[in-house]
Structure 1
């Protein structure tokens, strides 16, 4: 059983500590920033593979705060997600706040009548699994107190579905500013033959066809870094590396001239996306070309801090890369502006907004 001490905030996650996934990185940085605010926070995760340790994972991500991370077998996917809330209902009910980012965990908590807050990352899967209507009803009843979508687009969809707009707080992803802003400013001379980088899972719904088209256009070298869901075509200007530890991401951006984020409209979470890699590229001061979809337009303004392109038109991406290659002044200007604009999206700012929304600040 758990210790009898009750933290102010209990954060229940489904991320596996041994996997290098964005949801784990976001969770650990958010919990660390909440802890730094003086909020007694405890994170429960499913069991992880040894010899990985919480300290090792935090070190890899540049997290220096000491955070309370505990493994619980009752959060393992083999068990119903109502089991942890059922077994530890007393502890969860006595904490000042309980926080989740999984609809399954939210519904599991609700089945035990435990009031909590739910950070919303994806809407379409919830709709397909008939979860959204349940979440909205529980929100209206107050069992789910605050809904925290990661984009305004997702917030608007929640309100349209019946959520209380007074209990919604938009909380985009974040970035460790210092690590990425240590990278040198863009050297515009490299734009003559730019190194174009994409980081993340590699698949057609994340723009593999666009990335391939950029390589075929011979505008520069295209580097894809991440795990593959779809095969990468063989082309001399198209390189692939497997995913890297998060501490190496800043260096990869620093060694590039352009960053592309070609998310497709049929990506399951395209309706509410807030990609951490977007804020990292902004903080690294690299020109960004991104898909012209509503959640990204919340952060990016074409010609101001990025260029946007139609995700269904690969040739439009070729034209945008050519525009930055031929207009280094524009590339430099939008890169510097992105680095300035991203200051609002630090992890401490994100944590403070969440803490205020859920009544802990």
Structure 2
């Protein structure tokens, strides 16, 4: 099977979306799919992201990124969309894989007959409505546009992949579509994780080292974690990720609460160094909020990376997380948006190392089911079966 993976983000790239795409295409090639990766010209080296060369089955087709030209007046993806259409009309592929909603909508309109599989990470209209509850003026117009675009993509795609079953359920409920859909949770690079993994009995440092690694978007719940530190003794917290402006906001919160002396903000780290950073810490944290994207749609990359490094995890007790973890068996789930509950979870694991050790063993074993290669097999099998059925139906 030959698959075109098309995205307006430069890949390889430094953001989480570009990392997820790179891991996906690498894994798809490793399970036998020929992948044409069509993106704007990348500024990163694959070796710097993955720590190894990209699988031989991936062919890069870098397109001109007009947004980087001094004479291009707007930051628009439209020139790339046009290039993507031209590329598809010049090359034969069995299917197209897309995770950008605007691009999927554009390709469906301009490439009739394309077998497009869309990977959804959220219901954008729902997320936008939560961020703008009043929906007045231009906001109402944008919300309506998102609804129309999502309805079109969800109904006209050949198939859908979603990070959680909850997301599939909501797509079917909100848009009344019958498009074939499969769950494809995010995964972990076991090759990179195993290089940093040590099979040593779990024992906390003195003081214990806590870690939050990821973006600092409000829905991630990091303010709850900072507030929780006022109720945790004998531990230091490392917060890795985010830009300078957001770090300054959170540092101000820590100073106001008197916990800034026990929190280290280290900013963004190189993707290839993330497993070494996880390995250095004792307990890993995910203080997610009760927004739709966190509670129903997310499949956190860092969750699986924590698990692969056999770290005890204290995480918000949300439906999206319960699709992966079981409280007291593979993670310690606590009430979301509760600093006290987060602190109690951390304190429990520090006080009961036998519980923490049990969590680490189960989490590590569970992580083996969430490799990128396992995900790639599920995606490839679903696409192959779907386009095979369509071909057989056309022949009849």
Asked if structure 2 preserves the Cα contact closer than 8 Å seen for 1:99 and 1:116, the reply is: yes
* Deviation by residue 1:231-281 (Cα, 9 ceiling, x = unmatched): 232411100112111221111111111000111123755531011110000
Question: 2:86 maps to what in 1?
Answer: 87
Distance in structure 1 (CA, Å) of the matches to 2:350 and 2:181:
41
Change (3 A) 1:212 1:262: same
Deviation of 1:57 after TM superposition, in Å, equals 2.4
Change (3 A) 1:33 1:86: closer
Question: 2:208 maps to what in 1?
Answer: 194
Map 1:273-312 to 2 at 5 A. 273-312=298-337
Change (3 A) 1:320 1:100: same
Change (3 A) 1:138 1:181: closer
- Structure 1 position 12 matched with structure 2 position 6: yes
Deviation of 1:359 after TM superposition, in Å, equals 1.3
Moved more, 197-206 or 340-349: 197-206
Deviation of 1:312 after TM superposition, in Å, equals 1.7
Asked if structure 2 preserves the Cα contact closer than 8 Å seen for 1:202 and 1:224, the reply is: no
Question: 1:3 maps to what in 2?
Answer: none
Distance in structure 1 (CA, Å) of the matches to 2:10 and 2:47:
13
Q: 2:29 aligns with which of 13, 32, 35?
A: 35
Unaligned runs of 5+ in 1: 1-6
Question: 1:4 maps to what in 2?
Answer: none
Moved more, 79-88 or 188-197: 79-88
SS in 1 for 2:261: coil
SS in 1 for 2:269: coil
- Structure 1 position 60 matched with structure 2 position 49: yes
TM-score between both structures, scaled by the size of structure 1: 0.88
Moved more, 275-284 or 25-34: 25-34
Between the two proteins, the alignment pairs up a number of residues equal to: 347
Looking at secondary structure, tell me which structure has more helix per residue.
2
* Deviation by residue 1:186-221 (Cα, 9 ceiling, x = unmatched): 644326632000001124432222221233233400
Distance in structure 1 (CA, Å) of the matches to 2:194 and 2:302:
14
- Structure 1 position 72 matched with structure 2 position 63: yes
- Structure 1 position 105 matched with structure 2 position 103: yes
Deviation of 1:137 after TM superposition, in Å, equals 4.2
SS in 2 for 1:271: helix
Distance in structure 2 (CA, Å) of the matches to 1:283 and 1:336:
10
Deviation of 1:105 after TM superposition, in Å, equals 0.8
Considering only aligned residues, what root-mean-square deviation do their CA atoms show, in Å?
Answer: 2.5
Distance in structure 1 (CA, Å) of the matches to 2:165 and 2:224:
27
Change (3 A) 1:86 1:181: closer
- Structure 1 position 353 matched with structure 2 position 360: no
Distance in structure 2 (CA, Å) of the matches to 1:79 and 1:210:
36
Distance in structure 2 (CA, Å) of the matches to 1:88 and 1:247:
31
Q: 1:232 aligns with which of 250, 253, 266?
A: 250
Deviation of 1:72 after TM superposition, in Å, equals 1.3
Distance in structure 1 (CA, Å) of the matches to 2:375 and 2:345:
31
Asked if structure 2 preserves the Cα contact closer than 8 Å seen for 1:207 and 1:263, the reply is: yes
* Deviation by residue 1:166-204 (Cα, 9 ceiling, x = unmatched): 610110111111322341246443266320000011244
Question: 2:161 maps to what in 1?
Answer: 148
